[in-house]
Amino acid sequence: MATSRPDHEFLDPEEWESWGALMMLHRSVLQELDADLRRHHGLAVIEFDVLITLFNAPDHRLRMSELAERVLLSPAGTTHLVTRLERDGLVRREADPADGRKWFTVLTDDGDRALQEARPTHNAVLRRTLISATSPADRRTLRRIWKRVSTRAPNPVTTDGGGPGAGYDPRR
């Protein structure tokens, strides 16, 4: 005897197709970004994300916990990544003078240089994979939709406060 399942367990075809398209776009753009950044600059896309997040932070520094939140990594994952970037001279750690138990991650001059060299590659991939396929009106519509949807996420995406993307200014 078949058991009936509540409707909330299934997505209708339109919902499933929308979700699938978003996931495929996300995966393919990130894969291309990662491949091009590694090939041309020796940086993984998550390393680029850390560098640009620090670049856009006040004084190019963030507490480790803030950095983890903004790049959507666990504290342990952030520590591992910062250790690798520190070994490569792209960031350094500084004790928080207000609380010696906490640490700041600070973008170094070498990290800034690596970021500035990699930005054209990053932007070229975004233009090739996403921007060239959309009109300015499409992008305004997408931006409105993504902002509305992101407010319901566990870690809302923002460009003007805490959370992923916080403080990002593409012109800097």
Confidence (pLDDT) at 46: 97
5's CB contacts (< 8 A; 6+ apart) are none
Q: How far is CA 1 from CA 4, 9, 10, in A?
A: 10, 19, 20
Domain membership flag for residue 159: no
Q: Looking at the domain assignment, is residue 141 inside a domain?
A: no
Instruction: Provide the residue type at 13 as one letter.
Output: P
Inter-residue contact 68 to 155 (CB < 8 Å): no
Q: What is the DSSP-derived secondary structure letter of residue 94? A: E
Which tokens hold the place of 83?
């250790």
Collect all residues with Cβ–Cβ distance below 8 Å to 70 and sequence separation of at least 6: 53, 62, 162, 163, 164, 165, 166
Mean per-residue pLDDT for 129-157?
A: 88
- Asked if residue 5 belongs to a domain, the reply is no
Instruction: Name the residue range of residue 118's domain.
Output: 29-135
Q: What is the CATH number of the domain that holds 57?
A: 1.10.10.10
Residue 3 covered by a domain:
no
Number of domains in the chain: 1
Q: What is the mean pLDDT of residues 15-34?
A: 94
Q: Comparing 80 with 149, which gets the higher pLDDT?
A: 80
CA distances from 69 to 16, 33, 89 (A): 28, 21, 22
Kindly report the pTM of this predicted structure: 0.83
The per-residue pLDDT for range 35-47, each reduced to its tens digit, is: 999 999 999 999 9
Predicted confidence band of residue 169 (pLDDT cuts 50, 70, 90): low
Query: Would residue 6 count as lying in a domain?
Result: no
Q: Does 42 map to a domain?
A: yes
For residue 166, pLDDT over 50 is answered with no
In a domain, 144, yes or no: no
Q: pLDDT averaged over the chain?
A: 89
Residue 84 lies in a domain: yes
Evaluate whether 77 touches 67 at the Cβ level (below 8 Å).
Answer: no
Give the pLDDT confidence score for residue 101 in this predicted structure: 87
The closest of 27, 50, 21 to 115, measured between CA atoms, is 50
Amino acid at 64: M
